[in-house]
Copies of this chain bind each other. A is one copy, B any other.
């Protein structure tokens, strides 16, 4: 047996032993475990499962062991993912610190910063928020105006950030701030960590078209930030941001599978809501073809991801393919939502919802919320620009 096969066998056995039956069911949004000082576990099972994983560092399987991570190789991490999928284990931790901030801090943070923050992310003790966008800036991130003035022993921060996901629940926020107002746009920006408990920080949730308020505006009014909270060099924050954006894009493209457990499959909904003929196939030929077409393309998207994994393993990475993921993934997700609406008919229109069941209710809210996916984290238009210029080499 190869090392990897041994690892697979051991992992499978360990998961079977440590993942309670209740944690192998599709997860509902309200049962997700996020990091945070004040986190509350939805059940004893959930807590046990989380703690077992966090102890092994498997909340961040491929991070270095010295900071509490799992220390797995990329192949081992893939095996862990496969085995978890096989047993239908719930993700132990949902956390922006795991997905985006951690990898960037590991790359750009100093030793003290890594020691301070990474273990807490792995253990889910701190919930992080992102402070990039500003009102009126849209995709033009670099036009940000929030400023951090050097006051000798600290920075004094003033300004407003928007789209700070769940900032009202976050303990810390990582921000891009302008430290040199005279420099050209992308220069003069620094990457700063700010404790949300600091004086002068306030948060106001934004109501979305889905009725939810996951995004916030975060206001900084003369907030004092210690100088040791600067990540990377002064005025070089753009580099850290770019590293982080890489992870965000990968994340966005996998949103689909992340939210899958909550929003049910197009295939199953079609079988449940459409008229079937005696052989069990969908009677209406038009919608049947449109569903098949989308499912084919979604399968191709998975195959594209798989191809990239094998390229990575073989060290033959085609950099261009990564640039496609966000646009393809989010567009497919929205097409799927629209088709689901069509399949459900008037059952998908509920809002206050006495006539809709829980499933129908979630489907509708997801449809509305998911309109954000082609906007947040780099709009589709920006993605297409990138593909044209960088992947295809079109002149600009």
Residues in A lying within 8 Å of B, measured CB to CB: 284-286, 288-290
State the copy count for this chain.
2
Q: How far is the CA of A289 from the CA of B284 in the complex (A)?
A: 10
> What is the minimal beta-carbon distance from A16 to any residue of chain B, in angstroms?
45
Most buried by B among A284, A286, A289: A286
Taking A285-B286, A286-B288, A286-B290 as known contacts, 6 extra A-B pairs with beta carbons closer than 8 A to each other, sorted by chain A number, are A284-B285, A285-B285, A285-B288, A285-B289, A286-B286, A286-B289
In the complex, which residues of chain B have a beta carbon less than 8 angstroms from the beta carbon of A284?
285
Chain B residue, CB-CB nearest to A289? B286
Supply 7 A–B pairs (Cβ within 8 Å), ascending by A: A285-B285, A285-B286, A285-B288, A285-B289, A286-B286, A286-B288, A286-B290
> What is the minimal beta-carbon distance from A201 to any residue of chain B, in angstroms?
38
> What is the minimal beta-carbon distance from A289 to any residue of chain B, in angstroms?
4
In the complex, which residues of chain B have a beta carbon less than 8 angstroms from the beta carbon of A288?
285-286
In the complex, which residues of chain B have a beta carbon less than 8 angstroms from the beta carbon of A290?
286
In the complex, which residues of chain B have a beta carbon less than 8 angstroms from the beta carbon of A285?
284-286, 288-289
Chain B residue, CB-CB nearest to A285? B285
> What is the minimal beta-carbon distance from A191 to any residue of chain B, in angstroms?
35
Q: How far is the CA of A286 from the CA of B282 in the complex (A)?
A: 12
Most buried by B among A285, A288, A290: A285
> What is the minimal beta-carbon distance from A258 to any residue of chain B, in angstroms?
32
Chain B residue, CB-CB nearest to A283? B285
Chain B residue, CB-CB nearest to A293? B286
In the complex, which residues of chain B have a beta carbon less than 8 angstroms from the beta carbon of A289?
285-286
> What is the minimal beta-carbon distance from A297 to any residue of chain B, in angstroms?
16
Chain B residue, CB-CB nearest to A284? B285
Q: How far is the CA of A289 from the CA of B287 in the complex (A)?
A: 10
In the complex, which residues of chain B have a beta carbon less than 8 angstroms from the beta carbon of A286?
285-286, 288-290
Q: How far is the CA of A284 from the CA of B286 in the complex (A)?
A: 8
Q: How far is the CA of A285 from the CA of B289 in the complex (A)?
A: 9
In the A-B complex, list the 9 residue pairs whose CB atoms are closest, starting with the nearest.
A285-B285, A286-B289, A285-B286, A286-B286, A284-B285, A285-B288, A285-B289, A286-B288, A286-B290
Q: How far is the CA of A286 from the CA of B290 in the complex (A)?
A: 8
Most buried by B among A284, A288, A289: A289
Q: How far is the CA of A289 from the CA of B288 in the complex (A)?
A: 12
> What is the minimal beta-carbon distance from A295 to any residue of chain B, in angstroms?
15
Q: How far is the CA of A35 from the CA of B289 in the complex (A)?
A: 50
Q: How far is the CA of A284 from the CA of B290 in the complex (A)?
A: 13
Q: How far is the CA of A285 from the CA of B285 in the complex (A)?
A: 4
> What is the minimal beta-carbon distance from A4 to any residue of chain B, in angstroms?
44
> What is the minimal beta-carbon distance from A152 to any residue of chain B, in angstroms?
46
Q: How far is the CA of A289 from the CA of B290 in the complex (A)?
A: 11
> What is the minimal beta-carbon distance from A277 to any residue of chain B, in angstroms?
11
Q: How far is the CA of A285 from the CA of B288 in the complex (A)?
A: 9
Q: How far is the CA of A284 from the CA of B284 in the complex (A)?
A: 10
Q: How far is the CA of A290 from the CA of B285 in the complex (A)?
A: 11
> What is the minimal beta-carbon distance from A343 to any residue of chain B, in angstroms?
15
Chain B residue, CB-CB nearest to A282? B285
